[in-house]
């Protein structure tokens, strides 16, 4: 039902949620994004945060970043404020 597309170029990480609109009504939810990297066993460092909004895509400045990262994203139901968390696949920034 959810997937994420990630592209890195020109010092920018562009991430977009891919939502199955047949089974999911995006307007009923809000989305938050964290750019993260693993720093140890079950430990992560949050590099940058984008707070909840109706936007299903986000751009992160990557001009000062090098290494392996992933995006942790959160989907919050605006009716009852329940939320779920997901993580993207890892990607490399040079």
Summarised one tens digit per residue, pLDDT across range 47-81 is: 999 999 999 999 999 999 999 999 999 999 999 99
Domain boundaries, the chain: 2-93
| In this structure, CATH architecture of domain 2-93 | Sandwich (2.60)
- The reported pTM is 0.90
Residue bearing the bigger pLDDT, 73 or 94: 73
Q: Are residues 68 and 41 in contact, defined by beta-carbon separation less than 8 angstroms? A: no
Q: Give the whole-angstrom CA distance, residue 40 versus residue 44.
A: 7
Phi, psi of 26 (to 5 degrees): -55, -30
- pLDDT bin (cut points 50, 70, 90) of residue 1 is low
């Amino acid at each position: 039902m959810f997937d994420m597309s990630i592209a890195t170029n020109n010092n920018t990480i562009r991430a977009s949620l891919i939502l199955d609109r047949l089974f999911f009504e995006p307007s009923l939810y809000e989305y938050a994004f964290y750019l993260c990297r693993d720093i140890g066993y079950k430990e992560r460092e949050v590099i940058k945060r984008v707070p909840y909004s109706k936007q299903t895509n986000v751009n992160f400045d990557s001009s000062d970043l090098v290494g392996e990262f992933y995006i942790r994203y959160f989907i919050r139901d605006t009716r009852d404020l329940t939320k779920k968390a997901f993580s993207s696949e890892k990607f490399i920034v040079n």
